[in-house]
Amino acid sequence: MSALLDVAGLDIAIGGRRAVAGASFSMARERLGLVGGSGAGKSLIGRSILRLLPAGATMRAKRLAFDGIDISSADARQMQRLRGRRIGLILQDPKFSLNPLMTIGAQIDEAFRRHHRLSRRAARARTLAMLEAVRFSEPQRVSALYPHEVSGGMGQRAMIAMMLAPEPELLIADEPTSALDPTSALQVLAVLDDLVASRGMGLLFISHDLGLVADLCDRVLVIEAGTIVESCDAAALAQSTHPYTRRLLAARALAP
C-alpha cells in the first residue's frame, strides 16, 4: 500500500536555530499520533507538510511526499491543489484560527465553493449538513454566529466542519483539544473520531497529551527537542523503554 505520507530527513530551522532535525516517518490511512512537550517541534512538522511554516522558518527534507507527490519542491499552484482538497489542518484555538469578522456559515461556505462548483444556495445547504455532521443541533443558528460568539468546543467543531468540507484524505490536527475544558474536549474528540472513521481518512494527531494520543491513535511517534525518539504501536506504549517516553507516561499517570 503506497504511503499516504512519506517523510525522510526533515529539518526545520527557526531564526537560525534548528527546531526539528532529521524527522523521518511514514503513514498510511491510519491514525498517527505525534507527542512531545511544548517546543519539541511537533506543530512545526504538522505545518511543514502543508508548507505553512511561520515567518522566519525554513525547511529542508530528503523526502517529503504526499501520495507520491513531492511537497518540498511543489510550487504554489500545486500546494493550493493539495491544501483543503486533499490535506486538511485543524489548529488549536478557534478564537484565533477562525476569521473573526466572518460568520461561521460564511467560512464553511467558502471552503465548499473553493473546491466544488456550487451556487450560493447549494453551498449553504451543504454547510448546514456539515454542521449537523459535527453534531450541532441548530445548524441554522450557528451558521449566522461569529467565532467570538460561540464556546471553544463549538468553535473547534465548526473548524472541523470547515476543514472536512472539501473531503480531504489526510487531516492534520494540531493540539485540537488543548484549549478546551475536559467536557468540550471529549465531545470534539468524539466528533473527530466519528468523522475520520466514517470517511476513511488518515489522521495525524499532534498533542502533548500521551494518554489522549494512545486512546485515539493506532501508532505513536514521540518527539523530544526536535528529534523523533520513538515510533511504536499505541498498544505497546506502556512497555516502552525509552526514558523520555517513560517520563511522559509517568506525567500522564500523575495528571488528574
For the bound state, the minimum distance from the C-beta of residue 82 to another protein, rounded and expressed in Å, comes to: 8
Smallest gap, in angstroms, from Cβ of residue 129 to another protein? Answer: 18
The CA R_g of the chain, rounded to the nearest whole Å, is 18
Beta strand 17-27 with 31-35 is: unpaired
Helix (H/G/I), strand (E/B), else coil: 156? helix
Residue identified by cell 528529534 is 227
Which residue has 441548530 as its cell numbers? 138
What beta strand segments (E) does 107-213 contain?
Answer: 170-174, 202-207
73 or 80: CB nearest another protein:
80
Percentage helix, strand, coil for the chain under 3-state DSSP, each rounded to 5: 45, 25, 30
Nearest residue (CB) to another protein, 63 versus 85: 85
Least spacing, CB of residue 240 vs another protein, in Å: 32
In the block, which residue shows the cell 517523510? Answer: 7
Query: Between β-strands 202-207 and 31-35, what pairing exists: parallel, antiparallel or unpaired?
Result: parallel
- What's the closest the beta carbon of residue 236 comes to another protein, in angstroms? 32
Torsions phi, psi for 235 (to 5 deg): -65, -30
Q: From the CB of 243, what's the least distance to another protein, in Å?
A: 29
Q: How far is the CB of 89 from another protein (least distance, A)?
A: 4
Q: Which amino acid is present at 214?
A: A
Tell me which residue of 16, 21, 27 sits closest to 45, measured CA to CA.
21
Which is closer to another protein, CB of 163 or CB of 191?
A: 163
Q: Contact, 90 vs 159, CB < 8 A?
A: yes
Closer residue to another protein in complex, CB, 76/254: 76
CB of 209 to another protein, least distance (A): 20
Contact residues for another protein, defined by CB under 8 A? 47, 50, 52, 54-55, 76, 80-85, 87-89, 91-93, 96-102, 110-111, 114-115, 146, 148, 159, 162-163, 166
In the complex with another protein, the residue whose CB is nearer, 94 or 245, is 94
Q: Decide whether 95 or 247 has the Cβ nearer to another protein.
A: 95
By the 10 Å C-beta count (0-12 exposed, 13-18 middle, 19+ buried), 68 is classed as: exposed
Q: Are 180 and 153 in contact (CB under 8 A)?
A: yes
> Is the CB of 59 or the CB of 248 nearer to another protein?
59
Cα 106 to chain centroid, rounded: 22
